[in-house]
Amino acid sequence: MDDIEVLRRLVVEDDKFNLDIPRIGYFIVYKGDNSFMSKQIKNEQKQSGFDAVDSEYTHVEVSGGGQWSVGAVMPKSKIMNIIDAHGGRHIKIMKYTGYEEEGMDNNKRYKVGFFAASEANLPYGWWTLIWFKLRDFFHKLKPWGRKKAPFCSLLAAWGLTMVFPEAFEDYRTVMPAHFLTSAEFKCVWEGDLPTSLQSIANDTKEDEDK
Instruction: Write the CATH number for 141.
Output: 3.90.1720.10
Q: What is the pLDDT of residues 30-44, one digit of tens each?
A: 999 988 888 888 988
Question: Looking at the domain assignment, is residue 209 inside a domain?
Answer: no
Mean pLDDT, to the nearest integer, of 61-72? 96
Task: Please determine, for residue 147, whether its predicted confidence score (pLDDT) is greater than 60.
Answer: no
Question: Looking at the domain assignment, is residue 69 inside a domain?
Answer: yes
Instruction: Give the global pTM.
Output: 0.83
Question: Looking at the domain assignment, is residue 210 inside a domain?
Answer: no
Task: Please determine, for residue 12, whether its predicted confidence score (pLDDT) is greater than 50.
Answer: no
Question: Looking at the domain assignment, is residue 119 inside a domain?
Answer: yes
Per the structure, the count of domains in the chain is: 1
pLDDT at 34: 86
Task: Please determine, for residue 170, whether its predicted confidence score (pLDDT) is greater than 90.
Answer: no
Question: Looking at the domain assignment, is residue 29 inside a domain?
Answer: yes
Report for 33-47, 130-144, 167-181: range of highest mean pLDDT: 167-181
Q: How many CB atoms lie within 10 A of CB 19?
A: 17
What 3-state DSSP class applies to 188?
strand
Q: How confident is the model at residue 168 (pLDDT cuts 50, 70, 90)?
A: very high
Question: Looking at the domain assignment, is residue 158 inside a domain?
Answer: yes
pLDDT at 46: 94
Q: How far apart are CA 82 and CA 60, in angstroms?
A: 11
Query: E strands, the chain, where?
Result: 27-31, 57-65, 68-71, 78-81, 90-96, 185-192
Question: Looking at the domain assignment, is residue 124 inside a domain?
Answer: yes
Domain that holds residue 141: 3-202
Short-list 152, 159, 135, 131, CA closest to 41: 152
DSSP code of residue 97? G
Question: Looking at the domain assignment, is residue 147 inside a domain?
Answer: yes
